[in-house]
Amino acid sequence: MAADREVWAAHPAHDRWQEPVFRAFFADALANEGALVVIEKATGESVGSSRFQGYDPGADKLFDAAPFVTELKARQITPHIAINGTVSKLGKPRKTAVDGRTTRHGGYAISQRIRKRIEEAFGWAKTIGGIAKLKVRGLARADAAFTFRMIAYNLIRIPKLIAQPT
């Protein structure tokens, strides 16, 4: 899917589907220490990655494009992506590729709230927790540093969780 030209058509980096362009992008992310790689502990394989340098909280709205949503639906995946409701110069909201059949269900709203909660944890780890520029080497130490920051984040959340009515 990453090599599909139509998926990238609405993205600002519309030529990133080309292998040389993507390799340059990813090499830059690694060189600037702006990439996170998710590694499956059991197999040691990379299962995903993310680039957080220059992160824009609304960037996931870029996936609200017809080719991307169509591809998800073709794979029988419900597109729980953020809706790009940007208002045009004429005052009209942008048309979304996510239809009402998805957004009318309570699960979509829950998904968006949980997404925000997850992004807050990673944002805190990066800005307050200091994980944006990791100062350790090796997977074991990086894992320990990340786990320590997530524990700290949860300790900070405890008073808010206790104060909430049950």
125 near 118, Cβ under 8 Å? no
Per residue in 98-120, pLDDT tens? 888 878 878 778 878 877 888 88
pLDDT of residue 53: 44
Helix (H, G, I), strand (E, B) or coil at 135: coil
| Mean pLDDT computed over every residue of the chain | 76
The pLDDT assigned to 166 comes to 60
d(C-alpha 24, C-alpha 42), whole Å: 30
Q: Any idea where the domains of the chain sit in the sequence?
A: 1-54
